[in-house]
């Protein structure tokens, strides 16, 4: 039984845990409740903007199954392992990060908060997390770099415009000190986002899109339907001078082809359930991709990560890191940089707590035997 000097809940315990560098307990006021955070963001943002960020494609089957797919696995704790402080730091393509939880790219962040990607970059920097900047960001990649000159950052590339314009973006990312180029490969055409169609959604007038050609027609002409092949992996690596990550991989054979063509990493992703629907969930696709790649390249995952146990499951299935999108959006909308930092810090704290409960003390050494399929499935 705890003594009066060792409370089991409440602000005093929260303060003690913070002072000791421990994660908050679910009973503490500091506990991160992502559902409550989303509800708060919905109260602050216009309904059509919420739908733009929250919605998926077609019937949203993929979107709805994303988190449940991680919960189809069960943790297998070890006991009597002399677990000490949990080591959370790792490397991504040789770059040091303080947590295996990174921020996925997402577009139009100034619709969630006036500071947009600048605030997201500061929030990531506060937690030592990697941030991925979108081609459709509302802040230029150079300005994000100025906010975070030494922090780990990647640039995500779409082919939305002329080849010359896209190639120039790749070169700019290399010159601006980004440490990887992320090719989003699952967008040959835009998915049917029905919420946007029902709302007749349009970007606000004057929303800056510095990586897109000017809307007055003075920029390069669009290239039509984007057509990328595995040959573009090596080409973009040469253009940018950066390692290339291929994002949107859901098949082992595709992963192997990308690595054979020069990809340094593959990123298992359903694009937030916003492209083809229904498709296999990231949690279901991850083991096949990891097996196909072996030790030849790093593997990452996103899609429905909502808790520290989800992160641990992904690590056990072979991901070196995970990325979150919508939780970071809601953090940005409700608290700017501090809100983003709280989301990443909260998930990282939950991960550390869950790992300690499972007898694990290093994110770089989580094995496949840490999880099993739920017996009832």
- CATH for 147: 3.20.20.70
The whole-number pLDDT of residue 17 equals: 46
The answer to whether position 376 is within a domain reads no
The answer to whether position 99 is within a domain reads yes
- 305 annotated among ligand-binding-site residues: yes
The whole-number pLDDT of residue 95 equals: 95
- 134 annotated among ligand-binding-site residues: yes
CB 259 within 8 A of CB 266: yes
Degrees (nearest 5) of the Cα angle 52, 56, 58?
Answer: 120
- What is the domain range of residue 249? 31-74+85-218+229-367
Distance CA 331, CA 106 (A): 13
Q: Which residue intervals of 45-157 are DSSP H helices?
A: 47-54, 61-70, 116-127, 141-147
Nearest to 286 by CA among 273, 271, 270: 270
Q: Annotated active-site positions, please?
A: 271
CB 169 within 8 A of CB 181: no
Split into its structural domains, the chain has a count of 1
The answer to whether position 39 is within a domain reads yes
Profile the chain (377 residues) by mean pLDDT over runs of 10 residues.
36 45 48 90 96 94 96 95 93 97 96 96 96 96 91 90 91 97 92 92 93 64 67 97 98 98 98 94 98 97 97 98 97 96 96 96 96 80
CB crowding 9-33: b at 16 or more within 10 Å, else e: eeeebbeebeeeebbbeeebebebe
- 304 annotated among ligand-binding-site residues: yes
CB 60 within 8 A of CB 270: no
- 269 annotated among ligand-binding-site residues: yes
The answer to whether position 80 is within a domain reads no
The answer to whether position 20 is within a domain reads no
The whole-number pLDDT of residue 377 equals: 53
Cα atoms in the 13 Å half-sphere on the side-chain side of 220: 16
The whole-number pLDDT of residue 214 equals: 73
């Amino acid at each position: 039984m705890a003594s009066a000097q060792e409370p089991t809940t409440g602000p005093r315990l929260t303060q003690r845990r913070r002072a000791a560098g421990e994660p908050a307990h679910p009973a503490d006021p500091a506990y991160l409740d992502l559902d409550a955070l989303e509800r708060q963001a919905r109260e602050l943002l216009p309904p059509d903007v919420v739908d733009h960020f929250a919605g998926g494609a077609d019937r949203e089957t993929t979107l709805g199954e994303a988190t449940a797919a991680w919960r189809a696995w069960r943790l297998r704790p070890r006991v009597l392992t002399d677990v000490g402080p949990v080591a959370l730091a790792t490397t991504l393509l040789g770059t040091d990060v303080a947590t295996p939880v990174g921020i996925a790219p997402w577009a139009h962040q100034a619709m969630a908060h006036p500071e947009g990607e600048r605030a997201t970059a500061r929030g990531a920097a506060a937690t030592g997390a990697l941030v991925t900047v979108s081609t459709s960001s509302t802040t230029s990649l150079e300005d994000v770099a100025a906010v975070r000159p030494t922090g780990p950052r990647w640039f995500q590339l779409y082919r939305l415009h002329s080849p010359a314009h896209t190639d120039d973006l790749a070169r700019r990312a290399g010159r601006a000190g980004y440490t990887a180029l992320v090719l989003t490969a699952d967008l040959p055409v835009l998915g049917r986002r029905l919420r946007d169609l029902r709302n007749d959604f349009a970007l606000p007038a004057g929303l800056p899109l510095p990586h897109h050609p000017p809307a007055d027609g003075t920029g390069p002409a669009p290239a039509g339907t984007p057509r990328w092949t595995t040959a573009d992996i090596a080409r973009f690596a040469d253009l940018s001078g950066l390692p290339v990550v291929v994002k949107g991989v859901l098949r082992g054979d595709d992963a192997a082809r990308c690595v054979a063509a020069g990809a340094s990493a593959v990123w298992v992703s359903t694009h937030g359930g916003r492209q083809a629907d229904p498709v296999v969930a990231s949690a279901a696709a991850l083991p096949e991709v990891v097996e196909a790649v072996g030790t030849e390249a790093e593997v990452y995952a996103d899609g429905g990560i909502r808790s520290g146990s989800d992160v641990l499951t992904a690590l056990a299935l072979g991901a070196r890191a995970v990325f979150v999108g919508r939780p970071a959006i809601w953090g940005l909308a409700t608290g700017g940089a501090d809100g983003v930092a709280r989301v990443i810090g909260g998930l990282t704290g939950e991960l550390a707590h869950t790992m300690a409960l499972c007898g694990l003390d290093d994110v770089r050494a989580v094995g496949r035997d840490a999880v099993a399929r739920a017996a009832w499935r």
